[in-house]
Amino acid sequence: MDDTHGTVHWTELMTRDVGAAKAFYEKVCGWSFDQVEMEGGLIYHVAMAHGRPVTGLMDIAGEPGGEGRSSYWLSYIAVDDVDTAARNAKAAGGTVKRAPWDVAGVGRIVLVTDPTGADIGLMTPAEMPDQV
């Protein structure tokens, strides 16, 4: 088993006001931001601290299911195999909120809801060049 299995790998802010969120975290945490264009022309804002990425921000205004939803943080836990983890989540009483999908250069992801109603992302991270 990989030594990252079961650890928090990434977290991101899903927000209806990216500009206000960026201004807040720039002042509070000293973050700077890079922008990455995603599939469909969406912009993902990567927060940087000490020269490395620390989190992401994404605009949910206009996204399916984003209407009227308050901003929220979503964390992703690293797992060795997303597809197995999705099956295990269902067997443990959770539900698969979004079926597994691949994000180029990032990894394979599934969104699940645990039996208490909390949403969480599970991710098999893509191999980084220094891990090959």
Q: Bigger pLDDT: 127 or 103?
A: 103
Give the pLDDT confidence score for residue 2 in this predicted structure.
Answer: 63
Q: What is the pTM of this model?
A: 0.84
Ranges of each domain in the chain: 1-11+71-132, 17-62
Per residue, the 3-state secondary structure of 59-95, as one string, reads ECCCCCCCCCCCCEEEEEEECCCHHHHHHHHHHCCCE
Q: Which CATH architecture has domain 1-11+71-132?
A: Roll (3.10)
> Which two tokens mark 53?
């990425």
pLDDT grade for 17, boundaries at 50, 70 and 90: very high
CB contact at 8 A, 44 and 104: no
Beta-carbon contacts of residue 16 (< 8 Å; ≥ 6 apart): 59, 60, 61, 66, 69, 70, 71
pLDDT greater than 70 at residue 72: yes
